[in-house]
Every structure is written in structure tokens, then in C-alpha cells.
Chain A
Amino acid sequence: MLEVDSVSVVIDGQTILDRVGLIVEDGEVVAVLGPSGAGKSTLLRVVAGLLSPDQGTIRWDGSDLSSVLPHRRKFGLMFQDYALFPHLDVGGNVMFGLRMAGASGVDAASRVKEVLDWVGLSGFERRSVTSLSGGEQQRVALARSLAPSPRLLMLDEPLGSLDRGLAERLVLDLRHLLRRKGVTALYVTHDQEEAFTVADRLAVIRAGRVVRVGRPEEVWEKPGSAWVARFLGFANLAESSITDGVASTPWGKVAVPKRAAGQVVMLRADRLLLRPEGTIAGTVTERLFRGSQAVLQIAVDGAPSLQVEVAAHDSPHPSDPVRVAVPDGAVSVLPADDELA
């Protein structure tokens, strides 16, 4: 079990990580999700031991790692852009960690064969790493970091430099491989869909702070703050005054749970409905086609435009007048952004 306990990193007077706390249980995949520059890669470098924290400790199964050098931590790190050794072939790259652990000969060779098989690159041992496609390099990097059986695998934007289609296919392979082998992993990404797909739990990080931790479904259902909601792609957020279970939003009054705390009301675009009896009247200004779904931008008098997701077939077109109904499940109340807004 990995424990990141109140870790801070200051570089050139700038706080990169601010009292970050995080736990990764054995066999669990935790995704660290945040925009670029949030400190995700720095967190991995601290856990790997490539960077010493200014405060806080990293523990493995309860023992402090601060005096353990990177090469003795038995952690694997898969680098962004992979950092494959260009002077070694595929087999040499995958073999490297085994060699450093003192393995050699038949055992090491069969381990190389085994992990290359896992990632679907059987027989690639003698290929030069520079002759590989981006997706193949990614898989060699994965095989290389898995070969010495690290007790923790860290992945830094492992799909970041691949094109979208390839990344979507590989993320499923990655998920299955990590699950099947019971790998304990810390997975850094800026892509929420990727994080939702691979992770058992998410830690959303913002400007060096962990702002939300939870299972993907929990985080999606309760983002916890307006910033996280926006980062996850939610629209229709507005500050509103709430009295007695009724929020006055720019789009009109909506019912909210009695005990809701916070000042920001969010209307979930995927749960709003177009209904003749809807309370919000507006005009469609834009219709974005997304395959089975369409996203409508609806101009509402005296209010920000409203985003609504509908089934693509038979959906209204720009300049059509519509009415929007707000069912109970469509309303979330969130605390306002903190001072970091």
C-alpha cells in the first residue's frame, strides 16, 4: 500500500505540490486527474524518488521511503513519450530491469518473452525501438516497466502522445492488463474519459492540491466543487441564492434538496429534458452532432445560454423555439470556488 502523506514540493519559490495526501491500496489503480501544470508529473517524480519532497513523507506498507534511492524502491515508471533506450533493441529495453536485478540467461529471456506476449508484441525482441510505431513504442515501454514485477507501477500520460482512436483502443487493453495481473498502479492523465476507464479511484488535482477523491461514479455524480465540475466538462453552472429548498437561478427557480449547501447550482445537460410543459423557454442557437447524441445550445432571455444533450435523431434545429424541463435528478448544488478560482 502506497501512502502519500501531506507532501509539498516548492521549486523556485513556487509551490508545485501543496500538502498532497493519497493512498493506493494493493491491486488498486488510482488515476491522478488534472489539467496540465497541476503538478501530476511532479507527484510521480516524488513517489519515484527522483525528487525529494520539501515536506511530507512517502510510505510503502507503513515504512518511510525517504532514504531509499530510486533504484531500490522497486517502483516502475512509464514515462510520457516512453524514454526507450535508443541504443538497445526491444528485447534489450525489456531486459534492462531484469539485468539490473541480477537476472540473466534463460529465465530473463523467458520473462521478456512473457511480458512482450502480454502487450501483444510477441517476437519483437530483435526489432529496433526506433522502427516502431507510436502505439508499439507505448507497449514496449509498458512491457519494460512491468518486466521486473514492480510493486507499484506509475504511468505518466501513457497514451498522451497517441492519436485519439489508438488511445481509445489501448486504454481498454491497458485496463484489462492491469486488472488481470493485479497491478498496483498510479496513473496520471489529463483526460477524464481515460481516467474513468482505467481507474478504480480518481484523485482530481488542481494547482498542486488534491481537490476530490473517489470512485469514478462518485466523482461524476458529486463533483464536489464548481471547478471540478467544469473540469469534468459539465456546463450550466451559475451562482444562485437558495432559500427553503428553492434556488433562484438565472434560468428561473428550481427545487433543490433541503439540506443542500453551497451557492452554485448546476443543471446537468444530460438530464435536462425538452418538454412542451418545460419551465424554461428559449431558442436553439447551435446543434453539435455527436453521433447518437446531439448537444444543443439554447439561448434563454436574460440568462446564460443553456446546454442540453438530446438523442440525435429527431432533435430540434437552430432557431427552433424549445422549452426545457428540469427533473429532480438534474439539479446539483455545489460549493462556490475557493480562493483559487
Chain B
Amino acid sequence: MNYVRPSRRRWTTWLLAALPVVFLGYLFVYPLVRILFTGLSGDGGAGSAFAELMNRRSLLGVAWFTFWQAALSTALTLVSALPITWVLSRFAFRGRSVVRAAMLVPFVLPTVVMGAAFLALAGPSGLIGVDLTGTVWIILWAHMVFNIAVVVRIVGGLWEHLDPRLEEAARLLGASRWQAFRTVTLPLLRPALGAAASIVFLFCFTSFGVVLILGGAEFSTIEVEIWRQVVGFLDLPVAAALAVVQLVGVTAALLAYSRYQQRHANQQSLRPIGETLRKPVTSREKIAVGATVGGTLVLVGGPPAVLVARSLRPGIDAYAGLGEELPGLPADPLAAVGNSLAFAAVAAVIALLVGLLSAAVVAYGRGAPSRWFDTVLMLPLGTSAVTIGFGFLIALDAPVDLRTAWILVPLAHALVAIPLVVRVAVPVMRSVEVRLREAALVLGASPVRAWSHVDLPMVARAGLVGAAFAFVVSLGEFGATQFIVRPDRPTVPTTIYRLLARPGELTFSRAMALSVVLMVMTVVVALSIERTRPGGLGGF
């Protein structure tokens, strides 16, 4: 935008920024500040809630468990994802793109669906015959399946562009296969491995739905504990103090992530995909590719497949019964589907509006304020869902009491989704070459017309993808929704959770069926994103 004078540009930038700033300020920053104050004040004077945290062994234990299970889950995820990442980054074979898309499926599944699937797999009457609920194993297992996609995406995104001749050069200089991997490939992948590990750690550290459903009474993460303190004991100061402790952990993971993000791999060693993929030739390679693909497909496809099978055990009845009201539930499950779709649509519109305005500030603005804004925009993504819901609950009573308004749910969902919209739109906005716009100007278009004829068609596509992302996020959102959803307008995830919490085969099979319905809705939208999204990488 060289044609806009600097003073005018700054003015326009701030005008664009106004709505996002107010939105994030009121719905994100303000609630966080209120949480901080609640945690600091407490009943017993300043800092008493933190003091209580330190004194209660159980709470310290929760923090410690949260940390080590996240670290262990991250390690397991990396180890189990590397073989398939290698295969997808180095070999061309029939069905490669299908396998690649299949790896993403668990990642887009809502946490309650994943929880339901693991109940069907390793729950009290699960397929494997051993009840693993209430053990750490099922939590680690679920986290691993969930996050393999993150590694495949982030590490694979670099690996598939890495020049294979570097490894060949190492081989010819006397390195064995393993030495070449360790001394050349691994160091070159380090930025991506670090970024993926930080993201996976972040997700596992703030894990809510999976731990709540599968962990039983024995295990809770900080996230689950916040929920218990609020709903079970109404101890807001301790919950707030926990939220602050969690923010510290989250910030550390995010700092690690952005540090790795900045260290881009060397451009010279990057090649277009066509040059790096080759067909498996020797029988050893064919076996390695086949076994890795098969094994990983079982690993990530197993839980959803078991879920579908379990939902069909009583025949089609479980699905037919979704329209029936169940005792103790305020609405029939099908009504929840309607609620969720409506919330998701509203959330998508809000996220698109605020997200595109924010993206424009980041993409077209220059200098420190715009970079600073970029960082702030990412924070809701890292902040845990429970913290956001909790913040809404304690903060949004003024100037108008929003806490019982239905709009609160889509607002929370939009807040979580805005960073995704920004991530999708900014690269597209930046990628429109200045020269194209200049060409339009020289051909007689005004700046506004130049933008609407050159940039808009490209940005519109990104906007569509961003809105779809927001839609998927909203459909599956559980942690924040639990705090703010009105009992008479439940969403699908909260309904599934309530069904799972009640004993009895009837409610369990309804929960399975409803989980399958939610899974199908999510996967359909997610796969259509995958087909239309510009570029490929990014957008977590």
C-alpha cells in the first residue's frame, strides 16, 4: 500500500483495529484481569487463595500431574507420529493424500467425542475388555491419538520440503542411514519438532474434556480442577488462583512455540514437494511404508471406528431415539443439534467479522503496534477454554448482565476461533503482490476499487475457510460452554457429557449415537476446509 500517505495509513489502521480491540478487551482481557483480582483477593485477604494452593497437597498434586502427563503425552505423540511423518514426507504412493487427510481426523474431533470413543474402546464395557478409565494410561493414549495430526502437519510440512539429497550427501560421506538421520535430518527438523512439541504440550497441559470423561475421580488437570472448584465447591478464589497458575504454564509453552517459529529452516535446503517424494522401490521400503501406514491408521482410526460400531450395537434404535426426551434432560438430543448449529453459525459470523478486521490490521499495518497486536490476537488460542468460560462467568455482569444471555455461548466460541481466522487470512492478504495492486492503480482503479478487484476475491476464499474453522470449533467446544450454557439450550457436547455421566445402557448408547452425529458434522466441515483452504500449512 505504498500509495497511502503514512499519516493517513495509521489513522485507517486504528479505525480497522477499533472493533477487534473493544471485542478482545471486553471479552478477553477484562475477564482475565477479573480472574487475577479474584485470585489475589480471596476470603482471607490478599494472596490467601495462592497460599491455600501451596498448602493443599491435592492441589499441588494436580499441578504436578498436569505437567508430567503433558510432558509424557508430548513425548509419546512425537515418537508415535515420526514414522508416519517420515513416510508421508518422503514417499509417493497411491492413497497418500487420503492417508494424510485421515491423520487429521482425530484432531478435528471434539474432545467429548474422543472421550466417548475411548469409553467405547477401553471403558467399563469397552472393546478391549480392560477398563482403563481412571488410569493415566487411557489419558496418555487419548492425548497421543488426538495430537498425532499436529506433528504430521507441522513437522511433515517442513520435512516434505527438505532436500533429500542432503541425506544422500551424508550417506556418501560415510554416514549410515541412522547417522544421516541423526546428524542431518533431525537437526534440520528441530524448529518444526520444537514448534510441534510446544503445541502438543499446550493442548495436553490444558486438556479438559478427555480428562474429565476418562480420568475419573483420581486424575484431574488444572483445567478440570478449576471446573470442580467452581461447580463443586463454589470456591472462586482458588479456581482463579489455579487459572493464574495455568496461565503461567501456557505462556511458557507459547513462548517456546514462538521461539521455534522464528527459527525458520534454511530456505536453501527447501524444495518443492515434487522433488522430494519418490516411490518406494525396494521390498524393505515397501514393507516399511505399508506397515507404518497400516499401523498408524489403526492407531488414529481405531477409536472413531469403535465408536461407530458401539453406537450401532443396539441397532439403529439409538439413532431413532435421539428425538425422544430422556428423564432428567431438559431437551431431547436432537434439539441440542439444532442449538449447536445455530450457535456455530452465529459464532462463525462474529469470528469472521472480527477476525478479518484484525487480519487487515496485522497484514496491512506496519511497525511495532501491528506486531504487538498480532501477538495479542494469538492469546485466546493459548488460553484454556475453561479459563475463558470462567472469566465470562465472573466478569460479564457489567455494564449489562450478559451471563444468562444465549449470545454468550457463540461469543465465547468466536473468541476461541478468531486466532484461526487471522492465521488463515493474514498470509493470503500479505501474499497479494503489491505489484498486482499497483497494476490495477496504473490501469485507473481507485485504491478502494483496486483492493476490491485484486485482493477481495482472494481474501474471500480465506474468509470462507476461516468461517468454516470457526464453525467446527464452535460445534465441538466444551470447556467454556460448560460454564455459560443455559440448561434449557444445551449444545451437543454438553448433552453428550450429561448422557455419559448418567448410568444405564440406554443413555450410554444414546451418547454414542449423538457422538457419532457430532463426529460426522465436524469431519464433513473439516474435510471441506481441507479441500478449499489456500496453501496448506498453518492454521492451528
Name A residues whose Cβ lies closer than 8 Å to a Cβ of B. Answer: 12, 48, 50-52, 69-77, 79, 83-87, 96-97, 100-101, 130, 144-145, 148
List B residues 173-225 near A (Cβ within 8 Å): 173-176, 179-180, 183-184, 187-188
Please tell me if the beta carbons of B266 and A87 are within 8 angstroms of each other in the complex.
Answer: yes
Chain A residues with CB under 8 Å of B173's CB are: 71, 76, 96-97, 100, 144-145, 148
Please tell me if the beta carbons of B175 and A83 are within 8 angstroms of each other in the complex.
Answer: no
Please tell me if the beta carbons of B170 and A96 are within 8 angstroms of each other in the complex.
Answer: yes
Please tell me if the beta carbons of A83 and B174 are within 8 angstroms of each other in the complex.
Answer: no
Please tell me if the beta carbons of A50 and B168 are within 8 angstroms of each other in the complex.
Answer: yes
**In the docked arrangement, what's the CA distance between A52 and B284, Å?**
13
B268-292 to A contact mask, C-beta < 8 Å, 1/0:
1100000000010110000000000
Taking the closest CB of chain A, its distance from the CB of B278, in whole angstroms, is: 10
In the complex, B163 has a CB within 8 A of chain A: yes
| Smallest Cβ-Cβ distance to A73: which chain B residue | B172
Q: Tell me if B's interface is mostly helix, strand, loop or mixed.
A: helix
A85-B184, A86-B269, A87-B187 are known contacts. Are A50 and B166 too (CB-CB below 8 A)?
Answer: no
Please tell me if the beta carbons of B172 and A70 are within 8 angstroms of each other in the complex.
Answer: yes
A85-B184, A100-B179 are known contacts. Are A77 and B268 too (CB-CB below 8 A)?
Answer: no
In the complex, B171 has a CB within 8 A of chain A: yes
A52-B281, A71-B176, A130-B268 are known contacts. Are A83 and B171 too (CB-CB below 8 A)?
Answer: no
| Smallest Cβ-Cβ distance to B279: which chain A residue | A12
Please tell me if the beta carbons of B172 and A86 are within 8 angstroms of each other in the complex.
Answer: no
Between A and B, 18 residue pairs with Cβ closer than 8 Å are A48-B172, A50-B171, A52-B282, A69-B171, A70-B168, A71-B176, A74-B174, A76-B173, A77-B172, A83-B165, A85-B166, A85-B169, A87-B184, A100-B173, A101-B174, A144-B169, A148-B173, A148-B174
Please tell me if the beta carbons of A79 and B165 are within 8 angstroms of each other in the complex.
Answer: yes
Closest 3 CB pairs of A and B: A86-B266, A97-B173, A100-B174
**In the docked arrangement, what's the CA distance between A73 and B170, Å?**
13
Q: Number of B interface residues, CB 8 Å?
A: 25
Taking the closest CB of chain A, its distance from the CB of B111, in whole angstroms, is: 37
**In the docked arrangement, what's the CA distance between A69 and B269, Å?**
25
Chain B residues with CB under 8 Å of A50's CB are: 168, 171-172
| Smallest Cβ-Cβ distance to A48: which chain B residue | B172
**B172 contacts which of A51, A71, A85 (Cβ < 8 Å)?**
A71
| Smallest Cβ-Cβ distance to A82: which chain B residue | B169
| Smallest Cβ-Cβ distance to A86: which chain B residue | B266
Known: A50-B171, A87-B266. 10 other contacts (CB 8 A): A52-B282, A71-B173, A74-B174, A75-B172, A77-B168, A79-B169, A83-B165, A86-B188, A100-B173, A144-B169
**In the docked arrangement, what's the CA distance between A135 and B464, Å?**
47
Taking the closest CB of chain A, its distance from the CB of B15, in whole angstroms, is: 41
| Smallest Cβ-Cβ distance to A87: which chain B residue | B187
Most buried by B among A71, A76, A79: A71
Chain A residues with CB under 8 Å of B269's CB are: 86
Chain B residues with CB under 8 Å of A70's CB are: 168, 171-172
Chain B residues with CB under 8 Å of A83's CB are: 163, 165-166, 168-169
| Smallest Cβ-Cβ distance to B186: which chain A residue | A87
A70-B168, A86-B268, A130-B266 are known contacts. Are A97 and B174 too (CB-CB below 8 A)?
Answer: yes
**In the docked arrangement, what's the CA distance between A85 and B172, Å?**
13
Chain B residues with CB under 8 Å of A97's CB are: 173-174
**In the docked arrangement, what's the CA distance between A83 and B184, Å?**
11
Chain A residues with CB under 8 Å of B180's CB are: 71
| Smallest Cβ-Cβ distance to A96: which chain B residue | B173
Chain A residues with CB under 8 Å of B184's CB are: 85, 87
**In the docked arrangement, what's the CA distance between A145 and B168, Å?**
12
Chain A residues with CB under 8 Å of B265's CB are: 86
Please tell me if the beta carbons of A87 and B188 are within 8 angstroms of each other in the complex.
Answer: yes
Taking the closest CB of chain B, its distance from the CB of A46, in whole angstroms, is: 12
Taking the closest CB of chain A, its distance from the CB of B286, in whole angstroms, is: 14
**In the docked arrangement, what's the CA distance between A12 and B278, Å?**
11
Chain A residues with CB under 8 Å of B169's CB are: 77, 79, 83, 85, 144
B376-401 to A contact mask, C-beta < 8 Å, 1/0:
00000000000000000000000000
**In the docked arrangement, what's the CA distance between A52 and B279, Å?**
14
**In the docked arrangement, what's the CA distance between A144 and B172, Å?**
11
